Amino acid sequence: MGRPHQIDAEWLVAAIDRLSEIGRDQNGGVTRLPFSLDDMKARDLVSEWMRESGLSVVRDPAGNDIGTLPGSEAVSAIAVGSHTDTVPNGGRYDGALGVLVGIAAVRALKQSGTVLRHPIEVINFVAEEATLPGGTVGSRAMTGALAEEYLSRTGWDDRLISKLLLDAGIDPVGLLHASRAESPPCCFVELHIEQGATLEQRGIQVGVVEGIVGIRRFEAEFPGSANHAGTTPMASRDDALRKAAPIIESVASIAVRLNTVGTVGTVRVVPNAPNVIPGHAILGIEFRALESALLDEATSLLDTACRAAGGHIKQVSNKAPVRSDPRMLLAFDRAVAECGVTSLHMPSGAGHDAMCMADICPQAMLFVPSKDGISHAFHEYSSPEQCITGANVLLQALIALDSTFI
Ligand SMILES: [Zn+2]
């Protein structure tokens, strides 16, 4: 038995297919809302595959399933994982792929008789999608970030989150007692579909994620005077929406200038009637970037533009960017070279469980291409070859990480 070079491609492709049958919609999409019957059924099947593959599996107090392969030394585990819940009528790959490639990598290690120094954990997190408030429930529970009030919020139907968990056979207070902040894994790796079109458009096989972007959201308010749309001459109007309008272009040009992304996603007009001059207009704006300094600059440019247009901005939320661990990126680069595949260092524009795990351990992510950049939809697709390539890079990454961390 030699060095494990390849995962069992047939097993991985069959597992993706089999898992997508649970919660399958008529149009080919998948609906596994967190803690629903189908979600729990899928979780049980994945845990069964973990056991078959030689992992010992525990369900932590929050419901996260953790399969462990022992290492040769008494050190903390290298953790790899993602989630198997989906959005309504979601795809087959978002989340599920990241869990299944972890199992495939462990199987390859076992089959070649390779024992790494570190134990390997494969984690199937609960409730990553934002079908529950804020999403990333399992990873937030694991980092100790959830407070008791979360249990009395409402989930994807009218049940409280505490009831949703109870109905799935999980003691709700477990969400508050699943923290591993005191004994974290030595690092966390998540492979995920890109959910954007960069890799596909550039014909690149694997994305090495440098970090998860920070998100800053604003409301820009513009005052005016509501008045009759027929009897008020153009020259004597104070139209709030006309003041706000140029800001839509300003946001786009600020984003282009800073080489990042910015969006005006909502427009609220008061009173919002076709025969009334807008008396008040509020734009919902966000910028995303990997550097806090860029977000600061975007904020100041937006502030200047809004003041000049007769309005003002209010910051409504601020999620800081999360940088990937540089040692892990080096290990990923080695893995990419070992596999002889093309790769690109890139940011993640979406949040993931890895972003939460960054609170307790070093983390980094790998991306595989998404066809047409589509996700959270039934036609989400990554080809078997793309998934297999990603899994092989992950396998080599685990081997590289084993010598990266003490
Ligand atoms: Zn996901």
Q: Residue 1: what pLDDT?
A: 46
What the chain holds in terms of domains, given with CATH numbers, is: 9-212+322-404 (3.40.630.10), 214-319 (3.30.70.360)
How close is the Cα of 309 to the center of ligand 1, in Å? 39
C-alpha of residue 83 to centroid of ligand 1, in Å: 6
Residues of the chain with pLDDT under 50: 1
Beta carbons of 191 and 395 less than 8 angstroms apart: no
In degrees rounded to 5, what are phi and psi of residue 264?
A: -100, 105
Between the CA of 189 and the centroid of ligand 1 the distance, in Å, is: 13
Cα(222) to ligand 1 centroid in Å equals: 37
Centre of ligand 1 to C-alpha 148, Å, is 25
pLDDT at 3: 62
Q: How far is ligand 1, taken at its centre, from the CA of residue 405, in Å?
A: 26
What is the Å distance from ligand 1's center to 84 Cα? 8
Picking from 298, 289, 382, the residue whose alpha carbon sits closest to that of residue 97 is: 382
Backbone phi and psi for residue 297, each to the nearest 5 degrees, phi listed first: -65, -40
Distance 278 CA to ligand 1 centre (A): 40
Q: Which residue shows structure tokens 């694997």? A: 206
Q: What is the 3-state secondary structure (H, E, C) of 369-402?
A: CCHHHCCCCCCCCCCHHHHHHHHHHHHHHHHHHH
CA of 224 to the centre of ligand 1 (A): 42
Tokens of 107: 């199987």
23: left (phi over 0), alpha (psi -120 to 50) or beta: left
Q: How many CB atoms lie within 10 A of CB 133?
A: 12
- If you measure from the C-alpha of residue 38 to the centroid of ligand 1, how many angstroms do you get, rounded to a whole number? 17
Cβ atoms 351, 135 nearer than 8 A: yes
Query: For 306, left (φ over 0), alpha (ψ -120 to 50), or beta?
Result: alpha
The pLDDT, as a whole number, for residue 134 is: 87
Rounded CA separation 357/342 (Å) = 27
- Torsion (CA) 261, 266, 270, 273 in degrees, nearest 10: 120
CA of 173 to the centre of ligand 1 (A): 25
Could you give the 3-state DSSP secondary structure of residue 197? coil
Classify the C-alpha dihedral 342-336-359-351 as positive or negative.
positive
Residue 225 to residues 245, 288, 309, 313, 338, Cα–Cα distance (Å): 16, 33, 15, 19, 66
- Give CA–CA dist 165/131, Å, rounded: 14
CA of 209 to the centre of ligand 1 (A): 14
Q: For residue 375, how far is its CA from the centre of ligand 1 (angstroms)? A: 9
Q: How far is CA 321 from CA 269, 287, 359, in A?
A: 32, 12, 12
* Contact indicator for 85, 37 with CB cutoff of 8 Å: no
Distance (Å) from CA 58 to ligand 1 centroid: 22
Which run of H or of E encompasses 365?
strand 363-368
Q: How far is the CA of 55 from the centre of ligand 1 (A)?
A: 23
Q: How far is ligand 1, taken at its centre, from the CA of residue 239, in Å?
A: 43
Query: So what's the ipTM on this one?
Result: 0.97
Q: Could you tell me the distance, in angstroms and rounded to a whole number, from the CA of residue 299 to the centre of ligand 1?
A: 29
Q: Provide the residue type at 232 as one letter.
A: T
Distance separating alpha carbons of residues 389 and 120, to the nearest angstrom: 20
What separation in Å is there between the alpha carbon of 179 and the centre of ligand 1? 21
CA of 281 to the centre of ligand 1 (A): 35
Q: Give distance in angstroms: CA of 364 to centre of ligand 1.
A: 14
pLDDT at 319: 86
Task: Note the pLDDT of residue 238.
Answer: 98
Residue 113 Cα to ligand 1 midpoint, Å, equals: 31
On the CB side of 255, CA atoms within 13 Å amount to: 18
Please return the burial class of 17, using the count of CB atoms within 10 Å of its CB with bins 0-12, 13-18 and 19+: exposed
